Amino acid sequence: MAYRMHAFESRPALAEGLANRVVKALDAAIELKGSATIAVSGGSTPKAFFEVLSNKLVEWDKVTITLVDERFVPADNARSNHLLLSTHLLKGPAAAARVLPLYHEAASIEDAAAVATDEANALGAPFDAVILGMGNDGHTASFFPGGDHLAEALDLALPRRVMTMEAEGAGEPRLTFSFSALHDARFLALHIEGAEKKAVLDKALAGSDENEMPIRAVLGRSATKPDIYWAP
C-alpha cells in the first residue's frame, strides 16, 4: 500500500499542519480554475483542525465545502456532521464559503441521495481536497464493515455519486460519497489521532480484506496517494 505518513508531536501541531496543507490545495485550485472544492469528514476528530482552518486566509467565497458522509438527520440534530461543520468550520473568514449539504428533506433517503448527487456533479470532479477520518472498526466515510451497499460503494467502476448506507455499527442510515468520488482527489488525506487509531491503521496496513476494514480500499486502491496525518 502506498501512502505518505505525517506524524506530529501534538494534536494542535497536526491541526496547524493539515490546515496549512489544505490552504495550499485550495489556493492552487483557485489559481488554476477560479474555484475550489473540499469534502471533509464528521465525527469527533476534525474539530480542532476545523477551528484552525476557519481562521486561515483563503478566498473562501470561491470555495465549496461538502461532507464525505452524513447521518440521515436534519442539520440541527446533535449527531449531524453538518452541525459539526457549521459550529467549527463555517465561521470567521471561512464563513464566506459555500456549503453543499448531503442531507435534504425528501420523501426517502434515496431521493435525498439523488439530490445530493446532482448537486455534487454540478461542482465538477475530482475534488480538490478530501479529508477522510477512520473509525475504530476500520470504516471511513460511511463505508462500514457489513454495510448494505458496501460493495457498490467501493466499486471504482461505478459512477461518482452520493449513496445510502445502513450498517449495524452506523447508528442512523447514512449518506456517503462513493469511493469513486473520493479516491482521485487532488489532495487526499486520512486524519487520525491517538494510539488506538494508529493500531487500527497498522492492522489495516497489514491485511487486504476490504469487507473487514473498508479503509483498506483507500490505502490500497486510491488513484491519489493518501497523506496520513497522525498525532498521539
Ligand X SMILES: O=C1O[C@H](COP(=O)(O)O)[C@@H](O)[C@H](O)[C@H]1O
Give the nearer residue to ligand X in terms of CB position, either 30 or 75: 75
Tracing cell 484552525 back to the chain, one arrives at 52
Cell of 129: 481536497
Among left, alpha and beta (phi > 0; psi -120 to 50; other), residue 93 is alpha
Give the nearer residue to ligand X in terms of CB position, either 41 or 117: 41
Q: Least CB distance from residue 67 to ligand X, whole Å?
A: 7
Q: Please give the residue ranges that form the binding site for ligand X (CB under 6 A).
A: 41-45, 68-69, 81, 133-135
CA 65 – CA 94 distance, rounded (Å): 10
Q: Least CB distance from residue 75 to ligand X, whole Å?
A: 14
Q: Least CB distance from residue 225 to ligand X, whole Å?
A: 19
Q: Least CB distance from residue 47 to ligand X, whole Å?
A: 9
Give the nearer residue to ligand X in terms of CB position, either 124 or 171: 171
H or E segment to which residue 230 belongs: strand 227-231
Give the nearer residue to ligand X in terms of CB position, either 101 or 135: 135
**If we measure between CA atoms, which residue out of 140, 106, 99, 142 comes closest to residue 123?**
99
